[in-house]
Structure 1
Amino acid sequence: MSSRTSMYNKNDKEIFVSVIVPVYNSAETIDRCLLSICNQQYGKLEIIVVDDGSTDNSTKIISKYLDGAPTVSLIKQENSGSFNARCTGIQHARGKYIAFVDSDDWIDGSMISNLVKHMEDCDLLSSGFFRDARIVTDHLSEGMHYVDNEDFWKNYLISESDYEDGIIGGLTNALWCKLFKRELCLKVINKRLDVSAKINEDFYFLLLYLCECKKIKVTYESYYHYINNPNSITQKVYFDFLRDYTEIFYSIIDKTKGYEFADVIRKNLIRRFLYEISVWGTQYMGAGIIDYSKVFQLSFPNLDSLNNKNVVLYCEKEVWSCFDYISENHRDINVVAIISSSLNVDTYFGIPVVNLQELSRISCDFIVLTMGDEDLANEATKELCQMGIEDNKILRRPPILKNLLAEILLSDA
């Protein structure tokens, strides 16, 4: 280790950056990870490794970095997840800024020095990263962004683009391609983030951190190398998927009470989580674990009252599951037309697909709004009323609540 020790500036008393590395059974990758951090061109840093109850040789490999390298420290704790491991690291950090590196990954030698250059006059810096030799960047433009406005929260939480590379809204969910201020990190963990969820914890922390910010900066420069770990929770069937999403959702609502843009966050958070559930639900929970038709059974308990009625379905992307449920379980309902911007066909299983302007020529008794997004349903209701459709002819799904999500699980039904 003597050659590696020379990379540290022992005479520099001021530690600007703390690099926190949560570790759990990472014997195959931790050496490469720590070596890449030790090889940083930036001398003013400390490395805090938090071993989260590893049962392999991880700590043995880490220990060789402790000899002759005083800026590397090891903290051991009982297994409680990477989220809590990061919080432990924050509590022990001494740097002005904090960076996170996962034990599977590695970073370029110039990463810390280049990120620090961008941190002037901002509370958070978000950079790009490499994924399978491909660069992934945020969906926000490069440069400074002001957090204390409504448009930022709308664009951050969810955009109109399809889910791509872990980005739904403006910033990547990951903590590891960013640079944080320690004082703001401490404010976040002092909120008592007592959640047991194993997914979306990074998003949870990042959102609460943004509530403490005034300005953030985005750069498309990329120095972080993300390695896809087939053993991670995001690559496995995970049966508590909906439970964890629901826990994170309600905790965010609770922790942001009193924040100036709490209402904007709540509304757009609902849209984001509904979209994430629709995209990731089958991957995490496995085919057949979620009975999607049950969503509509629970959302529309009185569909039998529509028997022998002419009905128009007003759908978004949920058109297939809604139509399948009605055609299989309520065959006496006469679906005469479907309105859906996601269908680029003239008919769907023999049912005419129309737009709003064509609705006037359709004879129907009821229009059923199947979208779970409350804002979209409100907008659709307003448009229909402006067209002269009576309010009592418009049937809507109630918002998806915590108990409804729980009932969707077949295993808990």
Structure 2
Amino acid sequence: MQKKVSVIVPVYNSEKYLYDCLDSICNQKYSNLEIILVDDGSTDSSGTICDDYAKMDSRIYVIHKKNGGAHNALVAGIEIAEGEFIGFVDSDDWIDSDMYRCLVDTIGDSDLISSGIRWYGKDGTIVQTRYDALPPGIYDAQDNNTCRKFFIRDGAYEGVGVGGITNNRVCKLFRTSLVKSVYRQADQKIVNGEDFLFCFLYLLRCKTIKVIHSAFYNYRYNESSVTHNPNPRFLEERARLYDTMLSAIKDYSKDDMLYTFFQQRFLYELYSMLDYNLGINPSISFPMYRFPNEKLLSGKRIIVFGSGRCGISYIKLFLWNRLCSVVEWIDNNPSTIQIMNISPRLPNTILQTEYDYIVCAINNQNAAQNMIEQLMEMGVNRDVILWEKPINIFADVFLQSHSFDERVC
């Protein structure tokens, strides 16, 4: 007999995407589901849509409640979950039809199975697919060396995620008994970092986890999401997050090095998100990315393509170090930012500019390829277009596990 999976979906004003989300869950090839929809005080038609689906599918249970935030909505669903496993889906995303069948068939006796996640950009195309920065396999979560790698990337394996195990709860399958235990301890006042906190607390309770490099979850960029808006209470919430996590380490682990590894990871998260969440002007923020092959640019005339965080970092470092001459800064959607009297302009300005190289300032390889193709369509020679995976300065500082003397472990 199939083991029951409780799928919890917090819903708030997501009528635009809710049909896609619910259809993808109801049409799962794994049928023994308990689908819990928590309408967190939606003011659009989301609540009605949930009720309509409940009438069509007996596996669906709807909770209507006063708005209390994502964490509060999750707790409401978790409290009534009866399945052996719990999965989470955000109401503006969707999942592949074989997601829960594959996760249940693969988890075995492990307390957690973690899979990949596809990220879709504003234009609906896949920006990247993220997997855990650990090779596929079964891991002993009680082993100190292994546990540390859950939080800091293993230097022997190149992955996309910041830590060994991604923060995303939606691409994982959890055991219900452990989930209920975790959410009793989690701080409901923490909004930004709630996934980080939950996954952290859950991992500390695991005996074994399984990692697979298959992606079933489809994450949709949604500008109205709380995770894509500045949070004026960011520092306050991060302080609460830090205290909660430190307390958990003391309760569940005697490994002093895990404490240090956690501090590395926490500092990275803090520094990398500080300027955005506090609304700090990007022109005065510290550069986060560096172009890997700077020697190639020495003394050259450079056009920087991209005005996001990577582009801003490149512009600052090129200008500060006087490594090269920045003759133009371009972007398809130029912002009003100005750095040392240089502001981004539309790409067609390069037709009147003399240059040696165009440097694509973007972190994602797929996006970089699109930029390269755009430039070539404009008549730019491929040989003068440069892109390399940017060096994350903050990651180098905070996330290098080999920076510690392993002999003390």
Same fold per superposition (TM over 0.5): yes
Q: Measure, in 2, the Cα distance between the counterparts of 1:48 and 1:166.
A: 31
Q: 1:153 deviation in Å?
A: 2.7
- Kept in 1, the 8 Å contact 2:54–2:61? The answer is yes
Indicate which of 137, 140, 149 corresponds to 1:155.
149
Aligned pairs (5 A) from 1:206-221: 206-221=199-214
Secondary structure in 2 matching 1:190: helix
1:175-217 deviation digits (Å, cap 9, x = unpaired): 00000000111221233x2341211101101111111111000
Q: Answer yes or no: is 1:46 the counterpart of 2:34.
A: yes
Report the Cα offset of residue 349 of structure 1: 8.6
**Where does the alignment leave 5 or more consecutive residues of structure 2 unmatched?**
121-125, 290-316, 324-395
Q: Which has the larger radius of gyration?
A: 1
TM superposition shift of 1:379: 7.2
Cα displacement string for residues 302-357 of structure 1 (whole angstroms, at most 9, x for unaligned residues): xxxxxxxxxxxxxx989xxxxxxxxxxxxxxxxxxxxxxxxx99x9699xxxxxxx
CA contact (8 A) 1:195 1:248 kept: no
**Alpha carbons 1:234, 1:284 under 8 Å: kept:** no
User: Counterpart of 1:356?
Assistant: none
Cα pair 2:133 2:159 within 8 Å, conserved: no
* Residue 119 in structure 1 maps to residue 107 in structure 2: yes
SS at 1:76's partner residue? Answer: strand
- Report whether the alignment pairs 1:233 with 2:221: no
From 243, 251, 255, give the equivalent of 2:248: 255
Number of aligned residue pairs: 297
Matches within 5 A, 1:90-101: 90-101=78-89
Shift of 1:165: 9.3
Specify which of 280, 284, 292 is matched with residue 277 of structure 2.
284
Q: 1:95 to 1:372 in 2, by over 3 A?
A: same
Contact 2:138–2:209 (Cα < 8 Å) also in 1: yes
User: Aligned equivalents of 1:188 and 1:19: distance in 2?
Assistant: 17
Q: Distance in 1 between matches of 2:73 and 2:6?
A: 14
* 8 A Cα contact 2:133 2:154, kept in partner: no
Q: Which runs of 4+ in 1 moved over 6 A?
A: 289-293, 347-350
1:141 corresponds to which letter in structure 2?
A: P
Matched with 2:93 is 105
Please, what TM-score do these two structures have when normalized by structure 2?
0.66
Counterpart mapping for 1:1-16 below 5 A: 16=4
Question: TM-score w.r.t. structure 1 length?
Answer: 0.65
* Other structure's SS at 1:223 match: strand
Distance in structure 2 (CA, Å) of the matches to 1:236 and 1:229: 10
Shift of 1:260: 2.5
Match of 1:67 in 2: 55
Q: State the SS of the aligned residue for 1:257.
A: helix
RMSD: 3.3
Matched, 1:176 2:170: yes
Deviation of the 1:237 alpha carbon: 1.9
1:291 deviates by 8.5
Q: Where in structure 2 are the equivalents of 1:1-400 lying within 5 Å?
A: 16-132=4-120, 133=126, 134-159=128-153, 167-191=161-185, 193-261=186-254, 263-288=256-281
SS of residue paired to 1:75: strand
Cα separation, 1, equivalents of 2:283 and 2:79? 39
- Aligned equivalents of 1:239 and 1:166: distance in 2? 28
**Structure 1 counterpart of 2:216, which letter?**
Y
2:404 & 2:148 partners in 1: Cα distance?
A: 17
**Deviation sequence 1:248-286 (CA, Å, 0-9, x none):** 110111233232245333322211121112211122222
Counterpart of 2:52 in structure 1: which amino acid? Answer: K
Q: Percent identity?
A: 35
Per-residue CA deviations over 1:56-92 (Å, capped at 9, x if unaligned) read 1110111111114211000122222212211221111
Amino acid at match of 1:185: V
CA deviation profile, 1:229-260 (whole Å, cap 9, x unmatched)? 11112212222112211111101112332322
